[in-house]
Every structure is written in C-alpha cells, then in structure tokens.
C-alpha cells in the first residue's frame, strides 16, 4: 500500500541553523504531497503542499519540492527559529474520498 | 478558509463511561470525514472514513462497536467511544473533505484529548 517514510527524530538545532527533514513516499500513481505541522498541544496545520512533479511548495520560509524521480518531498528552511519547534508530518493523498497517509512525524526542537 | 470545529478539545472520563466527540464543518459541506487517532509522540493512524448518510468504513483493527461513528449531515460527524477504558486515552482528530476538494488538503479539527481514568 501507499506509505510515507520520514527521517527519525528528534532533531535539535540551534537558532538560525539550516533545517532538512527528509521524506520519501511509496505510492501507485502520483499523489499530492503535503507537510503538516503540529505545535505542542494543538491539532494539525497545513504547512505547504505540492500537487505534481517539480512543484515547489513554500510557506513561512519552509520549502519542499516534489521529486518524482526520487519519490521525495524533503522539507527545508534556511534559518530556523525557536518558534519552529514542533512535530512535522509528511503526508500524501490522492484525489477523491481518500484519507491522508502520514509519515511518523519528526519532532524538531530549536534552541536559542 | 474552510474551518473544522472539533468539540470538546479535552475530556476526562471514568472507565466504563461513553464519550462523544463532535466534528463540524463550519463553512462548507463535508461529504467525507476521516477520524484519526494519535498516540503520544506517534503519527496519526486512520481509524475510519465516514460518508454522509452511509455507514463508516473502519480500518483493520479498529473495533466498530467501540468507536461508533455517525455522519448524519453534511456538516456534522460524531465519534462515540463506548465503555471507555484507560487504553482508549489518546488524541483524536477529525478531518473533512468538501464536495469540490479534489486532491486538496483536508481540513483538520484541533483534536480532542481523551483521558480515561
């Protein structure tokens, strides 16, 4: 079945460091890809998305590019802040009445 | 933007009682709602998919008699945890899909933290 694999956490970075969280997927076909963020004690918020190959999603300084050839959607940010500390989930979804398939999540802690 | 309201945000109940969680789409018609469960420091596991006016489809390993899902209208779905036990303590999150959403992201509620004592 379809699946998403994320790098294991936790990831601890100093403020202003460069962030990469790897995400690869396995799917039959070409799903849409998403990154969601979950701040402590809260629900999920959509961070960014890409719906087809070579699309780049971006939001709040985060970016991810849909790479069909490597089936990847790695999340990057050039300079993280303490407020970016959260759990990040990579997910895929096909159109229609289909749910999101989530990776296991990567916890990011940014220290001042 | 599309808003999904989930209520309550947290609940503490005694073992053996039942708890109902509501998920409402506030400004769109949710033809499909998905219920997820999240254990501490783990990912979201899909429990069931419900389409308005029909029975929910449960994922393997999810007890349908324990987790009752009702999707009686295009704006409301409910999850009832029946005869709750401490192992049912978890974070439950609903998400909704509208009629014209295609492959757009799903809209999520803020989740309900259930603690069974």
In chain A, residues with a C-beta closer than 8 Å to the C-beta of B62 are none
On whether the CB atoms of residues B26 and B76 are closer than 8 A, the answer is: no
What would you report as the CA-atom Rg of chain B, rounded to the nearest whole angstrom? 13
CA-wise closest residue to A63 among A52, A51, A53, A73: A73
Closest chain A CA to residue B103: A95
Closest chain B CA to residue A31: B103
C-beta atoms of A43 and B108 within 8 A? yes
> Is the minimum CB–CB distance between A49 and chain B shorter than 8 Å?
yes
Token readout for B78 is 């409910």
In chain B, residues with a C-beta closer than 8 Å to the C-beta of A89 are 43-44
C-beta atoms of B106 and A97 within 8 A? no
CA dist., res. B57 & res. B55, Å (int): 7
> Is the minimum CB–CB distance between A99 and chain B shorter than 8 Å?
yes
User: Nearest-CA distance from A29 to chain B in Å?
Assistant: 13
Closest chain A CA to residue B39: A104
pLDDT tens-digit profile, chain A (112 residues) = 889 999 888 999 999 999 999 999 999 888 999 999 988 878 888 999 999 999 999 999 999 999 999 999 999 999 999 999 999 999 998 877 788 899 989 999 999 9
Per-residue pLDDT at B104: 63
Quick check: B105 pLDDT over 70? Answer: no
pLDDT in tens, B78-87: 999 999 999 9
Per-residue pLDDT at A14: 97
CA dist., res. A98 & res. A94, Å (int): 6
Q: What is the mean pLDDT of residues B30-58?
A: 88
Give SS3 for B10. strand
């Amino acid at each position: 079945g379809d699946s998403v694999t994320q790098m294991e956490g936790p990831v601890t970075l100093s403020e202003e460091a460069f962030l990469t969280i790897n995400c690869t997927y396995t799917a039959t076909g070409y799903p849409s890809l998403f990154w969601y963020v979950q701040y402590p004690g809260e629900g999920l918020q959509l961070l960014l998305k890409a719906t087809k190959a070579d699309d780049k999603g971006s939001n709040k300084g985060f970016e991810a590019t849909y790479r069909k050839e490597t089936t990847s959607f790695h999340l990057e940010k050039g300079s993280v802040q303490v407020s970016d500390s959260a759990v990040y989930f990579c997910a895929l979804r096909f159109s229609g009445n289909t749910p999101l398939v989530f990776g296991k999540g990567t916890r990011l802690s940014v220290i001042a | 933007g599309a808003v999904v309201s989930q209520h309550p945000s947290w609940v503490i109940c005694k073992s053996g009682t039942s708890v109902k969680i509501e998920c409402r789409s506030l400004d769109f018609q949710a033809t499909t709602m998905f219920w997820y469960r999240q254990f501490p420091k783990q990912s979201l596991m899909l429990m069931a998919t419900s389409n308005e006016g029909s029975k929910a489809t449960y994922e393997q390993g999810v007890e349908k008699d324990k987790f009752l899902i009702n999707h009686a209208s295009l704006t409301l779905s409910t999850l009832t945890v029946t005869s709750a036990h401490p192992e049912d303590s978890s974070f439950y999150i609903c998400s909704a899909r509208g009629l014209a959403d295609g492959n757009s992201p799903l809209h999520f509620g803020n989740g309900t933290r259930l603690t069974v004592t």
